[in-house]
Amino acid sequence: MLDASSAYAGVTLLVFQALMHGRVALDNWRKTGHPSGFDFQTFWLASHLTLHGTPLLAYDWHAILKTAKLISPNAEDPGPWFYPPNFLLIVEPFALLPSSIASVIFTSLTALIFIVLARKTLNMPDSMVWIIAFPGLWLNVAQGQNAALTGALAFGALLALRTRPVLAGVLIGLLSIKPHLGILFPVALACAGLWTTFIAAGVTVTLFTAISVAVFGGAIVPAFLHGLGKAHVHLTNGTLPWDQMASLYAALRLRHVPASAAYVAQACQAVLAVASVASVASVASVASVAWVWRNNRALEARAAALIGGTFLISPYIYNYDCVWLGIALALLAARTPRGGWLRGERALLALVWIYPLIGNAFESLAGLGPLVFH
């Protein structure tokens, strides 16, 4: 059970974040006609274009910008749509509701699902305040993003691995809405010999993609691939803000390292993430994702290795994606190592817990993300 000082700290952080985000949301509503969560505007606009029979225009930034005036004459410029057709199929119903209402429902509901999974894992007295106060969830809501959704899919899959392998595979397959976050699951499943889950995930991805293409037409595929090319350009020139990213690439670009050198460094880190680096606090060893999943059956060790490796591979990792860190934190905290925590371990977990707040608030801390994931 948490002592009084810990409970006070948790409640204080929770109230601070609630007041801060509430004030920002109110100010944004007055200025732009939309609360916090401007990234959700892109989801809503893609939905609107799709519902009006023009899904290909979701990949046209000029069409997105033009349609934004439907939200409000003072709407903040939305970002481009780079997601695969699978996620376009998911967001299609959003425009049946006003953007602000759809945003609140989507971010709140996905955050609630993640909280329920975390509470189920961390079934300890007074743990709920720390779960709800987790800055990763608040940052995701503030930016109107889908990290709580992808995090819940990954969390649910990990919890279902042992008892419901087919369900675990389906949840992993649904991560194809954001493919770079599911890239290491096949490696992990194969190394662990979890072939039922592996096959279920592959079948789900195939069916999900086929249904999306059937609904939107074959032309949606080249439109998506063309959008990926634009995403690469925007990432290289900084149109996609580096200071809100958690990747090594972004940290180097903020320090004026040339794009080619930053990509090489990111690629080297990706190789290390798969081949030799995956810090697991409860195991106290350095091992690859493949080695951990093949040789260690502890779910918390596997989750920490997988999440750390996933976040070290892609240059396109934002701080709001750090909702995923809550998965490893919950699993690690739920199983105190025999003999208690080693010196400094709880401090490291606290740093990981607070990172989404400080990492997004201070540009000078760019580069802390890759260290946290290690």
| 173-189 confidence digits (pLDDT tens) | 999 999 989 988 998 99
| Conformational region of residue 216, where left means phi above 0, alpha means psi within -120 to 50, and beta covers everything else | alpha
Q: Scan for tokens 């990432």, then name that residue.
A: 235
What average pLDDT does the chain have?
81
pLDDT value, residue 272:
52
Query: For the chain, how many structural domains are there in total?
Result: 1
Would you say residue 275 has pLDDT above 90?
no
Q: Which domain holds residue 290?
A: 4-373
Instruction: Report the number of secondary-structure helices (H) and strands (E) in the chain.
Output: 19, 2
Distance separating alpha carbons of residues 105 and 134, to the nearest angstrom? 19
C-alpha dist (Å) from residue 347 to 270, 281, 352: 26, 11, 9
pTM for the model: 0.84
pLDDT value, residue 237:
63
Residue pLDDT, tens place only, 26-36? 887 777 777 77
CA–chain centroid gap for 13, Å, is 22
72-102 CB burial, b ≥16 within 10 A, e <16: beebeebbbbbbbbbbbbbbbebbeeebbeb
pLDDT value, residue 335:
77
Q: Scan for tokens 């509430």, then name that residue.
A: 22
Q: Which residue has the higher pLDDT, 53 or 77?
A: 53
